[in-house]
Amino acid sequence: MSIGYDLDGVLISDLYWPDGMSLEDFLKMRASEPYANFVPKGSYVIVTGRNSSDRPYTEAWISKNLASNPPYRLFHDCPDHRQGAEYKASVINQNGIRIFIESDAKQVEYLKKHCPYCRVYHFGSFLSETFYNL
């Protein structure tokens, strides 16, 4: 069974682009985020809706923060971040990902509708329910 994680909002906290900051400075800030929210156990993939041009920054962050258990594959070829849900659905369906953890509620609904063989979980809701049931 293959498990996949969204990057922003799941493995790394969502960062918001400050007004007036250049793209290059924002990408540097995002790459320097101090730590991962958690390091997944076992074998996993990352599927991100980040633009392809961001790959060097993402790989640097992964090398720094997930070194103890890096993903066996990074899907990072979204042509336009505004089409992240469509890109993720395509990757999930073409690569047999059976569990996917996503931070964006709208993308969760899209993925549930378009990825019939994958159990898609909303990260925030999953955590809330898990802690509630302790």
State the pLDDT confidence band at 129, using cuts at 50, 70 and 90: low
For residue 127, is it within any domain?
A: yes
15-47 burial, b at 16+ Cβ within 10 Å, e below that, comes to eeeeeeeeeeeebeebbebeebeeebeeebbbb
What would the pLDDT profile of 58-94 be if each residue is shown by its tens digit? Answer: 898 899 999 999 999 999 998 887 899 999 999 999 9
Q: Based on the structure, what is the number of domains in the chain?
A: 1
For residue 29, is it within any domain?
A: yes
The partner residues of 2 in beta bridges, in order of sequence, read 97
For residue 75, is it within any domain?
A: no
- Give residue 19's domain range: 2-69+83-132
pTM for the full predicted model: 0.85
Question: If you average pLDDT over residues 116-131, what whole number do you get?
Answer: 83
The string of DSSP letters for 86-123 reads HHHHHHHHHTTEEEEEES-HHHHHHHHHH-TTSEEEEH
pLDDT of residue 34: 67
Q: What is the CATH number of the domain that holds 51?
A: 3.40.50
What would the pLDDT profile of 6-60 be if each residue is shown by its tens digit? Answer: 998 899 887 667 788 787 777 777 666 667 889 999 999 999 998 888 898 889 8
pLDDT of residue 116: 97
